[in-house]
Amino acid sequence: MKIGNIELKSNLLFAPIAGFSDAGFRAICSSFGAGLTCTELVSAKGLCYKNESTRDLLNKVEGESPVAVQLFGSDPEFMYKAAKDERLKPFDIIDINMGCPVKKVFNNGDGSALMKSPELIKEVVKAVKEGGQKPVTVKIRAGIEMGKPLAVECALAAEEGGADAVTVHARYREQFYSGEADHTITRDVKSALSIPVIANGDITDYKSLEMVSEITGADGFMIGRGALGNPMIFSELRGNTVNVLKKPLIYQHIEILRKFYRDETVCNAMKLHLCYYAKNTRVAKAVRKEATSAKTLDDIFRVVEEYFV
């Protein structure tokens, strides 16, 4: 699969997820065959104002490629300036978030609120394309209100603005992350566009991947929650049998994070990840209890040694 001039090593992509799409987990997903990974949400205004916490989201493992940086914002001028920022140079693609349902983001006119105005979508995409001088992708939802799809109109506006691919999270903003994804909407987007379309939502195993592929005819498939604690899914979805011990994987994850962050920050990041690494195992409850109360990285190491093999 190709996005602009960037050749992906597979058509399975790892979704940007707040609190989880750190450089360590992205690198691990990439090693198991994710064709593209993406940073967490990065504020365009935060970049322009040199916000320190924004800078921390832009870490990238040497050799990690291809990887996209996901920007959010709705002001074309700020988006243009952010896309030009030198700190985005290491990233292969700029992805524009037009799907975030969170109230704070939505009420500011960003994220999925952009779907109210296809004309503004076109302007924002054009600004990022001109500023970044690299492939631009857009991530949208089915629409805002249940039963009122906006995806086709918004995707066409993005394509007209110069987008190189569109990802459709086939849920409405009102659904947040609950209920079922309606992949017939992604199918309609695919029929309307000439650029690659990526399907997102409820892809958790080979059976669901086949079903979404059959419904949508999409060019690529984005895995989000199905990859948390299970980065091996990118290999498994390609038909490979994977037998990997979680403990060395977790230590690899921690080692990468320690290159960028203080141990206290790594500890807090790994609390969330450990709960997912243990999900659907007999130790899940114990890990959740121990990990969430961890105060130091040594506490995290003790949890790993006690409960993982």
Catalytic residue from among 29, 100, 267, 275: 100
Residue 173, token pair as written in the block: 């903003």
Q: Pseudo-torsion of CA 57, 5, 237, 102, nearest 10°? A: 40
What's the rounded Cα separation, in Å, for the pair 137 and 3?
8
What's the rounded Cα separation, in Å, for the pair 133 and 151?
25
Q: Is 48 a catalytic residue?
A: no
Residue partners of 182: CB distance under 8 A and separation at least 6: 142, 170, 171
What's the rounded Cα separation, in Å, for the pair 30 and 6?
15
225, amino acid identity: R
Residue pointed to by tokens 């947040």: 176
Residue 223, token pair as written in the block: 């895995």
Residue pointed to by tokens 């990439």: 30
C-alpha closest to that of 10 among 280, 239, 215: 239
C-alpha closest to that of 222 among 13, 2, 75: 13
User: Which residues carry out catalysis?
Assistant: 100
